[in-house]
């Protein structure tokens, strides 16, 4: 039984920024819809700060199992839900996620992306063709990562971006 594939999914600015003050620096509804469509029916793995960044009405992300990584002993998600699983570190989170037998999507933040990249075989990047100020950055994809698809678009608010898939050679 091969291990379930691990996918990363993030949106990044031209200068590599993925977040600012635990929020997205842009408003890109097309990307939110893409994110929802890609991760639907799977298990999402995120750090606690990413969990906290979600508006409470979207916690847990609906229609998916949510695994939250936190070192805080006794941390409990709010709102409580049987679809939220708590893990003390990323290896435990990925083991829990893979145990659920659904596609595993790592959805942030920067620390979690950096730790999980080595274990992933596919990365979906929404590449926004504009620089943004921010305090969180995307992981660096070295030259083993090969672009396998690219779909360029312009958002309703004029932002040029592309949905890009990378797979490890
Ligand atoms: N490419 C790519 N990768 C990522 N990791 C992420 C994205 N884009 C975009 N992100 C988010 O917007 C995170 O979420 C939200 C943040 C703020 C307000 C609403 C939301 N939600 C949007 C998704 C909805 C859903 O999925 O049901 C729930 C409400 C993470």
* Residues 136, 17 contacting (CB under 8 angstroms): yes
The rounded Å distance from CA 1 to ligand 1 centre is: 31
**Alpha-carbon span 11 to 162, nearest angstrom:** 10
Helix then strand then coil, in percent of the chain rounded to 5, is: 25, 35, 45
Q: What ligand 1 atom has the least distance to the C-alpha of 126?
A: 1
**Alpha-carbon span 45 to 107, nearest angstrom:** 6
What Rg value do the Cα atoms of the chain yield, rounded? 15
Per-residue tens of pLDDT for the chain, all 169 residues: 455 689 999 999 999 999 999 999 999 999 999 999 999 999 999 999 999 999 999 999 999 999 999 999 999 999 889 999 999 999 999 999 999 999 999 999 999 999 999 999 999 999 999 999 999 999 999 999 999 999 999 999 999 999 999 999 8
Contacts of 70 (CB under 8 A, 6+ apart): 47, 48, 86, 87, 88
44: Cβ below 6 Å to ligand 1?
no
pTM attached to this predicted model: 0.96
The rounded Å distance from CA 169 to ligand 1 centre is: 28
**Alpha-carbon span 61 to 10, nearest angstrom:** 15
């Amino acid at each position: 039984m091969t291990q379930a594939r691990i996918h990363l999914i993030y949106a990044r600015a031209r200068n590599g920024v993925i977040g600012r003050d635990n929020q997205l620096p842009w408003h890109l509804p097309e990307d939110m819809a893409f994110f929802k469509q890609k991760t639907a029916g799977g298990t999402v793995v995120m750090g606690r700060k990413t969990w906290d960044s979600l508006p409470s009405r979207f916690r847990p992300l609906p229609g998916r199992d949510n695994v939250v990584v936190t070192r805080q002993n006794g941390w409990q998600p709010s709102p409580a839900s049987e679809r939220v699983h708590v893990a003390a570190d990323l290896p435990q989170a990925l083991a829990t996620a893979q145990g659920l037998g659904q596609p595993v999507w790592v959805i942030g933040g920067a620390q979690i992306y950096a730790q999980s990249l080595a274990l992933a075989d596919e990365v979906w990047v929404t590449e926004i063709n504009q620089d943004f100020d921010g305090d969180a950055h995307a992981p660096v994809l070295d030259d083993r990562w090969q672009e396998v698809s690219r779909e360029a678009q312009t958002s309703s608010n004029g932002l040029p971006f592309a949905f890009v898939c990378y797979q490890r050679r």
